[in-house]
Protein backbone atom coordinates (compact mmCIF):
# COMPACT_ATOMS: atom_id res chain seq x y z
CA UNK A 1 0.00 0.00 0.00
CA UNK A 2 2.83 2.38 0.85
CA UNK A 3 4.26 2.19 -2.68
CA UNK A 4 0.88 3.08 -4.16
CA UNK A 5 0.44 5.89 -1.66
CA UNK A 6 3.87 7.30 -2.44
CA UNK A 7 3.04 7.51 -6.16
CA UNK A 8 -0.22 9.31 -5.42
CA UNK A 9 1.52 11.59 -2.93
CA UNK A 10 3.89 12.74 -5.68
CA UNK A 11 0.89 14.17 -7.54
CA UNK A 12 0.07 16.56 -4.68
CA UNK A 13 -3.19 14.91 -3.56
CA UNK A 14 -4.85 18.02 -2.18
CA UNK A 15 -4.68 19.63 -5.61
CA UNK A 16 -6.49 16.58 -6.98
CA UNK A 17 -8.92 15.94 -4.13
CA UNK A 18 -10.31 19.47 -3.85
CA UNK A 19 -11.46 19.76 -7.50
CA UNK A 20 -12.80 16.21 -7.23
CA UNK A 21 -15.12 17.16 -4.37
CA UNK A 22 -16.12 20.37 -6.15
CA UNK A 23 -17.09 18.37 -9.26
CA UNK A 24 -19.02 15.83 -7.19
CA UNK A 25 -20.90 18.65 -5.48
CA UNK A 26 -21.74 20.37 -8.77
CA UNK A 27 -22.83 17.08 -10.36
CA UNK A 28 -25.07 16.37 -7.39
CA UNK A 29 -26.56 19.87 -7.37
CA UNK A 30 -27.13 20.31 -11.11
CA UNK A 31 -27.70 16.71 -12.24
CA UNK A 32 -28.51 14.14 -9.56
CA UNK A 33 -30.80 16.37 -7.48
CA UNK A 34 -31.86 18.83 -10.19
CA UNK A 35 -35.57 18.10 -9.59
CA UNK A 36 -35.39 18.72 -5.85
CA UNK A 37 -36.59 22.00 -4.37
CA UNK A 38 -34.22 24.96 -3.93
CA UNK A 39 -34.43 24.32 -0.18
CA UNK A 40 -33.38 20.67 -0.32
CA UNK A 41 -30.93 20.65 -3.25
CA UNK A 42 -27.98 22.23 -1.39
CA UNK A 43 -28.40 19.86 1.57
CA UNK A 44 -28.63 16.88 -0.77
CA UNK A 45 -25.49 17.95 -2.64
CA UNK A 46 -23.67 18.28 0.67
CA UNK A 47 -24.79 14.76 1.58
CA UNK A 48 -23.40 13.50 -1.72
CA UNK A 49 -19.88 14.75 -1.08
CA UNK A 50 -20.18 13.44 2.46
CA UNK A 51 -20.97 9.98 1.04
CA UNK A 52 -17.78 10.19 -1.03
CA UNK A 53 -15.73 11.29 1.98
CA UNK A 54 -17.21 9.53 4.99
CA UNK A 55 -17.12 5.85 4.12
CA UNK A 56 -13.76 5.98 2.28
CA UNK A 57 -12.26 7.83 5.25
CA UNK A 58 -13.69 5.31 7.71
CA UNK A 59 -11.97 2.57 5.66
CA UNK A 60 -8.70 4.27 4.69
CA UNK A 61 -7.93 5.79 8.09
CA UNK A 62 -7.77 2.42 9.92
CA UNK A 63 -5.64 0.99 7.10
CA UNK A 64 -3.23 3.89 7.44
CA UNK A 65 -3.13 3.52 11.22
CA UNK A 66 -2.60 -0.24 11.25
CA UNK A 67 0.18 0.11 8.68
CA UNK A 68 2.19 2.22 11.14
CA UNK A 69 4.26 0.01 13.42
CA UNK A 70 5.16 2.99 15.62
CA UNK A 71 1.61 4.06 16.39
CA UNK A 72 1.43 6.44 19.33
CA UNK A 73 -0.20 9.78 20.06
CA UNK A 74 3.07 11.54 19.27
CA UNK A 75 4.35 9.42 16.39
CA UNK A 76 5.25 11.20 13.14
CA UNK A 77 2.82 11.13 10.24
CA UNK A 78 3.37 8.47 7.63
CA UNK A 79 2.71 8.98 3.93
CA UNK A 80 -0.54 7.03 4.06
CA UNK A 81 -1.81 8.96 7.08
CA UNK A 82 -0.93 12.25 5.39
CA UNK A 83 -2.90 11.15 2.35
CA UNK A 84 -6.04 10.60 4.43
CA UNK A 85 -5.54 14.00 6.06
CA UNK A 86 -5.37 15.73 2.67
CA UNK A 87 -8.44 13.83 1.48
CA UNK A 88 -10.34 15.15 4.50
CA UNK A 89 -8.99 18.68 4.12
CA UNK A 90 -10.34 18.78 0.56
CA UNK A 91 -13.76 17.59 1.71
CA UNK A 92 -14.08 20.07 4.56
CA UNK A 93 -12.95 22.92 2.33
CA UNK A 94 -15.69 22.05 -0.15
CA UNK A 95 -18.37 21.69 2.51
CA UNK A 96 -17.25 24.93 4.15
CA UNK A 97 -17.80 26.73 0.84
CA UNK A 98 -21.24 25.09 0.68
CA UNK A 99 -22.20 26.49 4.10
CA UNK A 100 -20.81 29.95 3.37
CA UNK A 101 -22.77 30.07 0.10
CA UNK A 102 -26.11 28.60 1.16
CA UNK A 103 -26.18 28.85 4.97
CA UNK A 104 -24.07 31.87 5.97
CA UNK A 105 -26.11 32.31 9.16
CA UNK A 106 -25.27 28.80 10.38
CA UNK A 107 -22.30 29.99 12.37
CA UNK A 108 -22.09 26.82 14.44
CA UNK A 109 -21.39 24.56 11.47
CA UNK A 110 -19.12 27.11 9.83
CA UNK A 111 -17.11 27.36 13.06
CA UNK A 112 -17.03 23.55 13.29
CA UNK A 113 -15.57 23.29 9.80
CA UNK A 114 -13.04 26.08 10.39
CA UNK A 115 -11.81 24.45 13.61
CA UNK A 116 -11.68 21.03 11.96
CA UNK A 117 -9.67 22.42 9.06
CA UNK A 118 -7.30 24.12 11.49
CA UNK A 119 -6.63 20.79 13.21
CA UNK A 120 -6.23 18.87 9.95
CA UNK A 121 -3.99 21.46 8.30
CA UNK A 122 -1.84 21.86 11.43
CA UNK A 123 -1.42 18.11 11.77
CA UNK A 124 -0.59 17.64 8.10
CA UNK A 125 1.54 20.65 7.23
CA UNK A 126 2.80 22.30 10.43
CA UNK A 127 3.66 19.71 13.08
CA UNK A 128 3.65 16.52 10.93
CA UNK A 129 2.94 14.50 14.07
CA UNK A 130 -0.11 13.36 16.00
CA UNK A 131 -2.21 12.02 13.14
CA UNK A 132 -3.11 8.95 15.20
CA UNK A 133 -5.45 11.00 17.38
CA UNK A 134 -6.82 13.02 14.46
CA UNK A 135 -7.51 9.98 12.29
CA UNK A 136 -9.07 7.99 15.12
CA UNK A 137 -11.43 10.89 15.79
CA UNK A 138 -12.08 11.04 12.05
CA UNK A 139 -13.06 7.37 12.09
CA UNK A 140 -15.48 7.98 14.96
CA UNK A 141 -16.94 10.97 13.15
CA UNK A 142 -17.33 9.25 9.77
CA UNK A 143 -18.29 5.69 10.71
CA UNK A 144 -21.90 6.88 11.03
CA UNK A 145 -21.84 9.23 8.02
CA UNK A 146 -23.39 6.84 5.47
CA UNK A 147 -26.27 6.16 7.82
CA UNK A 148 -26.60 9.85 8.68
CA UNK A 149 -26.60 10.99 5.06
CA UNK A 150 -29.20 8.39 4.13
CA UNK A 151 -31.31 9.52 7.08
CA UNK A 152 -30.93 13.18 6.08
CA UNK A 153 -31.95 12.57 2.46
CA UNK A 154 -34.92 10.45 3.53
CA UNK A 155 -36.01 13.12 6.00
CA UNK A 156 -35.85 15.80 3.30
CA UNK A 157 -38.27 13.91 1.02
CA UNK A 158 -40.44 11.99 3.48
CA UNK A 159 -43.37 14.36 3.03
CA UNK A 160 -43.72 13.82 -0.73
CA UNK A 161 -42.08 10.44 -1.43
CA UNK A 162 -43.66 7.39 0.27
CA UNK A 163 -40.47 5.33 -0.01
CA UNK A 164 -38.49 8.12 1.67
CA UNK A 165 -41.00 8.15 4.53
CA UNK A 166 -40.67 4.38 5.01
CA UNK A 167 -36.88 4.56 4.81
CA UNK A 168 -36.81 7.40 7.31
CA UNK A 169 -38.96 5.46 9.77
CA UNK A 170 -36.86 2.32 9.29
CA UNK A 171 -33.42 3.90 9.63
CA UNK A 172 -34.08 6.38 12.45
CA UNK A 173 -33.88 3.96 15.45
CA UNK A 174 -30.61 2.22 14.43
CA UNK A 175 -29.08 5.54 13.37
CA UNK A 176 -29.87 7.14 16.72
CA UNK A 177 -28.54 4.10 18.57
CA UNK A 178 -25.29 3.94 16.58
CA UNK A 179 -24.76 7.69 16.77
CA UNK A 180 -25.29 7.67 20.54
CA UNK A 181 -22.83 4.81 21.09
CA UNK A 182 -20.11 6.31 18.90
CA UNK A 183 -20.46 9.97 19.85
CA UNK A 184 -21.70 9.53 23.40
CA UNK A 185 -19.57 6.62 24.64
CA UNK A 186 -16.58 5.72 22.47
CA UNK A 187 -15.57 9.27 21.50
CA UNK A 188 -15.51 10.68 25.07
CA UNK A 189 -13.41 7.73 26.28
CA UNK A 190 -10.88 8.27 23.51
CA UNK A 191 -10.78 12.04 24.05
CA UNK A 192 -10.15 11.44 27.76
CA UNK A 193 -7.22 9.12 26.98
CA UNK A 194 -5.85 11.60 24.46
CA UNK A 195 -6.18 14.49 26.90
CA UNK A 196 -4.48 12.52 29.66
CA UNK A 197 -1.57 11.78 27.33
CA UNK A 198 -0.99 15.39 26.31
CA UNK A 199 -1.53 16.79 29.81
CA UNK A 200 1.05 14.34 31.16
CA UNK A 201 3.71 15.93 28.95
CA UNK A 202 4.56 12.65 27.22
CA UNK A 203 4.13 14.26 23.80
CA UNK A 204 7.02 16.62 24.49
CA UNK A 205 9.10 13.71 25.77
CA UNK A 206 8.38 11.66 22.65
CA UNK A 207 6.96 8.79 24.70
CA UNK A 208 3.91 6.63 24.10
pLDDT confidence bin for 197, thresholds 50/70/90 = confident
Q: Is the pLDDT confidence value at 10 over 70?
A: no
Residues 6 or more apart in contact with residue 79 via CB below 8 angstroms: 2, 5, 6, 9
| SS3 state of residue 136 | helix
pLDDT at 85: 95
pLDDT confidence bin for 143, thresholds 50/70/90 = very high
pLDDT confidence bin for 74, thresholds 50/70/90 = confident
Q: Is the pLDDT confidence value at 200 over 90?
A: no
The model scores a pTM over 0.85: yes
Distances (CA, A) of 67 to 32, 64, 121, 156, 195: 37, 5, 22, 40, 24
Q: What angle do CA 140, 49, 11 make, to 5 degrees?
A: 90
Residue 54 near residue 115 (C-beta atoms within 8 A): no
pLDDT confidence bin for 75, thresholds 50/70/90 = confident
Mean pLDDT score across all residues of the chain: 90
Amino acid sequence: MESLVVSVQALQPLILFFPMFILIYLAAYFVVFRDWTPKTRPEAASCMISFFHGTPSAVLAPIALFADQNLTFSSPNTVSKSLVLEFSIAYFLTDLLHYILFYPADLLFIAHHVVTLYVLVSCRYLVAHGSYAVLFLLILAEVTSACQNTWTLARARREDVPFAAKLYAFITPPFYALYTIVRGVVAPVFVFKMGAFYVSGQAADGKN
